Each structure stands twice: as C-alpha cells, then as structure tokens.
Amino acid sequence: MPGTMTAQPSTRILVVFGTRPEAIKLFPVIHALKADPRFECVVCISAQHRQMLDQVLEIAGIVPDHDLDVMQPDQTLDALTANLLTGLGKVMDAAQPDRVIVQGDTATAMAGALAAYYRKLPVDHVEAGLRSGNIYHPWPEEVNRKIIGSMASLHFAPTETSRNALVNENVDPARVHVTGNTVIDALHWVTAEIERQPSLAGGLAELEARFAGKRIIGVTSHRRENFGEGMEQIAAAIRRIAARSDTAVIFPVHLNPNVRKVMNERLSGLGNVALIEPLDYPHFARLLSLAEIMLTDSGGVQEEAPALGKPVLVMRETTERPEGVAAGTARLVGTSAERIVTEISTLLDDREAYEAMARAHNPFGDGQTSRRIVELLANEVRHQA
C-alpha cells in the first residue's frame, strides 16, 4: 500500500561470553542492544566461570538465553576449548543469529569466534587489537586475541594504539573503529547504581572499621603464567608489605585453586591482611575507591584504577595496555617479591612519587563506547541490506 511503512526485521545478534571480565565489559553492550528496536539480542554464556560470572549477571540484570555451564574445577585449556567449541556451535545452530559478538581474549571468546567462522557468520570483536607482542605473556590470551583478530568482521579497538596494532597485522583499516573500552561504561553504570543505592557496596563496612587509619592496598591476582613461583613471590611480597603497622592489604582471592591454595597457605591469619571471597562489581568499585594503591596482574583493573586516579602496580613482565604506563599511572613491576616490595614502599614513603602516579587518567574511553558500538553495528547492517 503506498505510503505504508514496513518495519525492517531486526538483526539478531548473539552475544557470547563466559568469564567475569567479559560479563563486566559486555553488559553495557547488552543493555544498549536490548534497548534498541533495530536489534534482537540473544545472550549465550558458556559459564567458563560460574560464581564469578553469576555475580555480574545478577547485578546487571542479565538473564541468559543459553547457558552451557561448562566450568570444571581447575579445567585444562584443551578440555575447556573442546567443550566450548562444540557447545557454542550447537547454540549458534539453534539460535540462527545474523551476527555474533565476542569480547577480549578468553577461551570462550576464541572458541565463540571460531564456531561462528565455521558457520560463516560475521563476528564482531569488542576490545580488539590489544597486543603484548609475546605469545606467553599473557598466556594464552595473546594468541586467543590474534586468532579472533584474523576472523573478525568489525574490530572495536579501545584506543589508537590497539587500532594501529591491527592495521600493522594487515587488517583492513576500514573495518577497525576506535570506540574506547566498554569497561568505562560499566564503571560509570555501577557508580551511578551505588549512588542511587549505597547499600549495594556496603558489605565492606566491617573491614573498613578494622583497618581504619591504615593505608589500604588492594590486590588481585590470577594469571596462568604467574602460577607456581610467581604466586609464591606475590604472597611473599604481601607478607612483607603487611608487616608494616601503617598498612593493610585487602585481597579478594580469585576462585582458581592455583591461586587460592598458595594465598591461603601463605597469608591466612595475618593481622593486616584480609583474604576475602571475590567481590561483586559494586563492592570491587568500593575497594578501588578505598585503596591507596592497586597491586594486580588483572587486565581490567589496569584500566579501572587509572580512571579513578589510583596508582596501579602491574605484576607482569609486559602489558597489552601500554597507555596507562605511558601516562605514568601504571607501572610494570613483574613478580619478584623484592621488586614489588621496593615499588610499594616507594609509593608509601615518597609523597612526590605517589602524587606523580595518582592522577586521574583515562585513555580507555568516555563511557559512551557501547552506544558507539551499537551505531557502528547498525551502520554495518544498513550497508549490507
């Protein structure tokens, strides 16, 4: 009938993820897709993580359409990857998406991209182009993300540095978009939620009272390449730092048994150390605000801490996030106990050294990354129609 508008069918996007950091960095994209009538957003979790993933889903109000529940205690990379590939392939066959979104560099992201490629489905990569240049640091993430980068349709690079890394690998520059990192969207969202409802982050009150007047160091650690000697060195460093009477360490311990065993054996019972369960995102945001320094081998924490003006000491040899180091808000300190203790002591005892690092610096985005990604997706779909 002349003059009648026919509604365009919406584009079905399957968002695939499995671990805590993917959930944190994808919930803003899922919120934006679900609010947009141009898209039908289907959520598939592999549950490569269980409790730590469910914590994020609950806070963000996301109910998955598919849950593969693959997590096994202390899972090996090959068994995990095999389960992911077959499981995610079946979900894709059932859900019949038009496109697939993956984030970052986990086993789930890599297997999700591969399963989509096997079906000739376009894969869009959030947090594309991070590179350390060393395939064993971080392991196996550096290779996971290179594999995804070789198949992706749209590459959403957080910064110019990550964009350049892709272009240097001969990715078509027209397919790479600098969007910022969705972690900043997530941080803004959770901060607003806490302002609305302070009790969301009230669960640390007892620890805050116990450590009143002390200078708090927040710690996280979980990298596979740090298992064994690296974890022993990190624990030894924390023991020495916590021997200072003016300092307290709050350490939400990752559920990986390779982390927990060492930390429990070496650090439990110390007066100035709180080994606690993984925090949900509002409580972790609260820890970031309480801490004077963050000591971490995490990727996401390297992005969040500088955004909040907290110096971050990175217990790794290399980083795929050089922007924080270049700005002076992050420093690579490796995993030798001696070096970690020296670097922390400098920040605690030298006010100028501390102030030089404690500058709010946010090269990773302005909190509008998800909105940008959704517009780029809409543009892509329009051009294909």
Contact footprint for ligand UDP (CB under 6 A): 20-21, 24, 183, 220, 222, 252, 278-279, 281, 284, 298-301, 304
**Shortest Å distance, C-beta 337 to ligand UDP:** 21
Q: Out of ligand UD1, ligand UDP, none, which partner does residue 365 contact, by CB within 5 to 8 A per kind?
A: none
For this structure, is 359 an active site residue?
no
Q: Which is nearer to ligand UD1, 19 or 247 (CB)?
A: 19
Closest CA to 258 of 215, 301, 229: 229
* Interface mask toward ligand UD1 for 49-88; x: CB under 6 A: xxxxx-----------------xxxxx-x--x--------
Q: Which is nearer to ligand UDP, 183 or 267 (CB)?
A: 183
For helices 300-307 and 182-196, give the axis angle rounded to 10 degrees.
Answer: 60
Contact track, ligand UD1, 23-52, x by CB under 6 A: -------------------------xxxxx
The entry of ligand UD1, ligand UDP, none near residue 74 (CB within 5 to 8 angstroms by kind) is ligand UD1
Active site annotation includes 224: yes
Report in angstroms how near the CB of residue 332 gets to ligand UDP at its nearest. 15
Residue 254, by phi and psi: left (phi above 0), alpha (psi -120 to 50) or beta? Answer: beta
**Out of 141, 185, 280, 303, which one is annotated catalytic?**
141
Residue 80 near residue 107 (C-beta atoms within 8 A): yes
Burial class (CB in 10 A: 0-12, 13-18, 19+), 44: buried
Nearer Cβ to ligand UDP (171/183): 183
Q: Does 19 bind ligand UD1 (CB under 6 A)?
A: yes
Query: In sequence order, what DSSP letters do the residues of 185-222 get, joined into one string?
Result: HHHHHHHHHHHH-GGGGGGGHHHHHHTTTSEEEEEE--
β-strands 11-17, 312-314 pairing:
unpaired
In whole angstroms, give the CA distance from residue 177 to residue 327.
23
Kindly write down the DSSP assignment for every residue of 287-353, as one continuous string: HHHH-SEEEE--SHHHHHHHHTT--EEE-SS--S-HHHHHHTSEEE-TT-HHHHHHHHHHHHH-HHH
The binder of 301, among ligand UD1, ligand UDP, none, by C-beta within 5 to 8 A per type, is: ligand UDP
Catalytic site includes residue 105: yes
Nearer to ligand UDP, 314 or 340 (CB): 314
Q: Which of 99, 222, 283, 286 is catalytic?
A: 222
What is the nearest approach in angstroms of ligand UD1 to the Cβ of residue 83? 11
Nearer to ligand UD1, 84 or 116 (CB): 84
- Per DSSP, 9 falls in state P
- Give which of ligand UD1, ligand UDP, none residue 326 binds (C-beta under 5 to 8 Å, depending on kind): none
How far CA 205 is from CA of 199, 201, 210, 212, 290, in Å, comes to 10, 9, 9, 10, 11
Tell me the catalytic residues: 105, 127, 141, 222, 224, 254
